[in-house]
Amino acid sequence: MVLIERIIQEAIEKGASDIHLLQGLKPILRISRDLVEIQDLDVLDEGELYEVYDYIVRGNVTKDEIYKDERKLDTSLVFNDTRLRVNVSYSMDVPTYTMRIISNDLPPYETLGLPEIIKTVTYQPQGVILVTGKTNSGKSTTLNALIDEINKKQNKKILTLESPIEYRHTSKKSVIIQKEVGPGKDSLTYIDGVKNALREDCDILVIRRDS
């Protein structure tokens, strides 16, 4: 097992929400809001961080160009059926990583502690719903729980534009089409995705982005 796979496996086993990889430090996990080093691993050096980069990019020329041109890359990774949202940036000209582990089990809407009125809004024939908040405040979980609630109880065509896709939905009572946005992806830009949505006869358009 290569180093990054060992780190991800330990993060999953310990119930971590995030993984942080930086030069000169041991791999760090966020567990219940605390930052905890993986003690039985060594301090990460530049070579190991570039090995992680090769593992994530996997020779994808488009991703490599984006990272080098924009000095950052937002992408996703799958390890043993577990999805991770990955941000790669630079620190002292060396790659640094933040990886969010995405649970395979989307919590039911009822468990989120949200007001009942929010669910009733999804039955409105038209309008705009904004889900906002700071990092780690539960925006993606809330949004996807609402999508799942509609999917289970309403007969709609739902189109999502995401960068990257986090939760994978399966069509139930509704029909769901999920599109990843970015160079080489399902839709090159959000603008392109929105324009094409007008031709796709969707009832609900979901636009999810973190910045």
DSSP string, 108-121: PGGGG---HHHHHH
pLDDT at 107 over 90: no
Least confident of 2-16, 102-116, 181-195: 102-116
Give the pairing of strands 18-21 and 28-31: antiparallel
Q: How far apart are CA 123 and CA 62, in angstroms?
A: 40
pLDDT digits (tens, 9 = 90+) for 163-172: 888 888 999 9
pTM of the model: 0.78
Is 211 or 86 the better-scoring residue by pLDDT? 86
As a whole number, mean pLDDT of residues 43-68 equals: 94
As a whole number, mean pLDDT of residues 72-93 equals: 92
- Is residue 84 within 8 A of residue 8, CB to CB? The reply is yes
Is 209 or 61 the better-scoring residue by pLDDT? 61
Give the largest Cα separation in the chain, rounded: 56
